[in-house]
Amino acid sequence: MAIPGKSSATAVTREPPATRLQWRIAEVTALRDETPRARSLTLRVADWTGHIAGQHMDVRLTAADGYQTQRSYSIASIPQASELELLVDLIPEGEVSPYLTQEVRPGDRIEMRGPIGGYFVWTAAHGGPLMLIAAGSGVVPLASMLAYRAQAAPGLPTRLLYSVRTSEDIIFRPRLDSWARQDPTLTVVLTLTRGAPIDWTGYRRRIDMDMLRQVAFSRDQSPLAYVCGPTSMVEETADHLVALGYPPERVRTERFGPSGDPR
Amino acid sequence: MSPMASETLSPTDFVALDGNAAGGLLRQLFVFDVTVARVVCSGCRSSHLLAALKLYGHPMGSILRCPDCHATLVRVVAHEPEYWLDMRGVESLHVSLP
């Protein structure tokens, strides 16, 4: 039981006055295939006032017969961007992602609401060092944090440990490479879990305790960790970080992805 | 737009999610972002941020379960404009407002 007066809840992020989130119409302005099964959607939303790095949008599709279904997609773009970038991973048997990855065209209109989320978010005021850990499309909210950090907190020691199946599954590789090249205080470490090119010199396995010992900031640097990916990866990684001495409240988690293992 | 019209509808995308993804739904009912609240499970008395609960989405509604004992903590049914919220599995809810 939480002790009244003791702050065991996370502070509510200051938001505009209480109003219900309204469904709004977004117009697709650009599409880009990011990997063979993930597509980036750029969207224009009227009166968009930006977001906080790490937040997501709810997307709602309505069938001709009125059937509605909705999904959440993390925002990839930098918070100040005038247009919104979402990354949609194809789930072949899914209801929503096949439409968003294969059917949608520039000029199409999509219903969405957001931005949403006050927990898995990072602002410069949260500080660091920043330990970001992702598997698969879990890198999306972290990419928004990295884009924001480059402007709002350059020089803040930051590491990204990113696990994907093969090199062609690396989402946002050009921007990750470019940020890491330009910034000596940012380190990007990739691990490939299912087959690496012959000349691959990086890790070739799932994220584990030994890898975290080598890659993660040590606890005496008071790091703040964000872990995003499939449930099992998130829970194992968070447990490892706590075992390495990270206070549980300094390990923020977001679980998502198909229950079939995308790593 | 009728993107779903020709598709076979499956009950879910079989996506494993957590309370973060319920933020938009719950923001319809609460005046603040309740995913940052700490809730105590009435089943096992463990405490978690609501964002860290397991989310099960069903066509009939959304269920948030305790990650430790899997008890049902929150059930929400949205049938616009009507909402139905059952939080009997939450023993207490603690939030720090700005």
Mark whether A137 and A247 lie in a shared domain: yes
Residues A29-65 have pLDDT tens digits of 999 999 999 999 999 999 899 999 999 999 998 888 8
Inspect the interface and report whether the beta carbons of B4 and A20 lie closer than 8 Å. no
**Nearest CA to CA, how far is A44 from chain B (Å)?**
17
Planar angle of CA A231, A232, A234, nearest 5 degrees = 65
Mark whether A94 and A140 lie in a shared domain: no
Lowest mean pLDDT among A128-132, B6-10, B39-43, B81-85: B6-10
pLDDT, residue A9, reads 66
Planar angle of CA A192, A57, A172, nearest 5 degrees = 30
Domain that holds residue A77: 24-116
Closest residue, chain B, to A17 (C-alpha): B31
pTM: 0.89
Task: Provide CB contacts within 8 A for A79, sequence distance 6+.
Answer: A50, A51, A52, A53, A144, A148
Mark whether A147 and A251 lie in a shared domain: yes
Mark whether A128 and A235 lie in a shared domain: yes
Domain-embedded: residue A4: no
Domain end among A94, A116, A138: A116
Domain CATH number, residue A65: 2.40.30.10
Report d(CA A112, CA A109) in Å as an integer: 10
Mark whether A129 and A105 lie in a shared domain: no
Sheet containing strand A56-62, edge to edge, reads A68-74, A56-62, A109-116, A24-35, A38-45, A84-89
Average pLDDT along chain B: 83
CB interface of B with A, residues 68-87, below 8 Å: none
**How many independent structural domains does chain A possess?**
2
Inspect the interface and report whether the beta carbons of A62 and B1 lie closer than 8 Å. yes
Domain CATH number, residue A128: 3.40.50.80
pLDDT, residue B10, reads 33
Q: What is the ipTM of this complex?
A: 0.82
Inspect the interface and report whether the beta carbons of B14 and A62 lie closer than 8 Å. no
Domain-embedded: residue A233: yes
Residues B53-96 have pLDDT tens digits of 999 877 678 999 999 999 999 999 988 889 999 999 999 999 99
Residues A176-227 have pLDDT tens digits of 999 999 999 999 999 999 988 999 999 999 999 999 999 999 999 999 999 9
Domain end among A67, A91, A116: A116
